[in-house]
Amino acid sequence: MSYLLHIDSSSLGEASVSRQVAQSFRDQWQGPVVHRDLAASPVPHLTAAGITARITDPAQHTPEQAKAAALQDELIEEFLGAGAYLFTVPMYNLSMPSVFKAWLDQIVVSERTLNHTGASPVAGRPAVLISARGGGYGPGTPKEGLDYLVPTLEALLGRDDALGLDVTTVTPELTMAPVAAALAALLPLYEASLAAAHDQARSLATTIVTSRAA
């Protein structure tokens, strides 16, 4: 079995609920893992050199283009080499942490990870997206429709005309309930959401390992 690529992006370290739920997945995982912690070691944002390097003959690269291309090659080969994916992406200000967006911009490249005339080279591979959020964004909540993280990532990671991964999303909600007085009444809902997220993460790991071993 090829490795699990785990991309972390929470800034909170061990206090991160996204990371804690991801650890439940990791505890059930059997096989090698490549872990890239973008909060601890962020990749640079995409630059003009990185963009133009993609359409320039490598023999004609400037030093800046060569450096940018080398980084993209490293990240893309790491991405393509995985057989399954775990993305730890908490909601920050209704969207994803900027470090995760920077990583995406480096690895989403036409004719390498995207194929506009056919399937992506990673199409169909399993991926789990874990995204904790401080409030609730489901149907009927005051913030319904304001989640700009999960829809965006499910589209980019999962659509057939994008990366085409088989994405399952786990969303522990109301993580501010233990610390925000205004949300204190929602503490039981938070606890139930967190327990369900841990159970779902463990179950997903077992299912993916079993299916890939079959």
Say how far apart CA 103 and CA 156 lie, in whole Å.
Answer: 13
Q: Tokens for 102?
A: 């920077």
pLDDT at residue 210 in the model: 92
Q: What is the pTM of this model?
A: 0.95
Taking residues 63-80, report their average pLDDT.
98
Q: Are 90 and 3 in contact (CB under 8 A)?
A: no
Can you tell me whether residue 79 is helix, strand or coil?
Answer: helix
Burial class (CB in 10 A: 0-12, 13-18, 19+), 15: exposed
Q: Are 8 and 37 in contact (CB under 8 A)?
A: yes
Residues 6 or more apart whose Cβ sits within 8 Å of residue 170:
21, 128, 129, 130, 131, 197, 200, 201, 204
Number of domains in the chain: 1
Q: What is the mean pLDDT of the chain?
A: 96
Buried b (16+ CB within 10 A) or exposed e, 128-162: bbbbbbbbbbeeeeeeeeebebbeebbeebbeeeb
pLDDT at residue 165 in the model: 97
Say how far apart CA 149 and CA 195 lie, in whole Å.
Answer: 22
The CATH number assigned to the domain holding 22 equals: 3.40.50.360
Other Cβ atoms within 10 Å of 7 Cβ, number: 26
Q: Are 43 and 106 in contact (CB under 8 A)?
A: yes
Inform me whether the pLDDT recorded for 115 exceeds 90: no
Taking residues 166-191, report their average pLDDT.
96
pLDDT at residue 1 in the model: 56
pLDDT at residue 83 in the model: 97
Inform me whether the pLDDT recorded for 192 exceeds 90: yes
Range of the domain at 101: 4-213
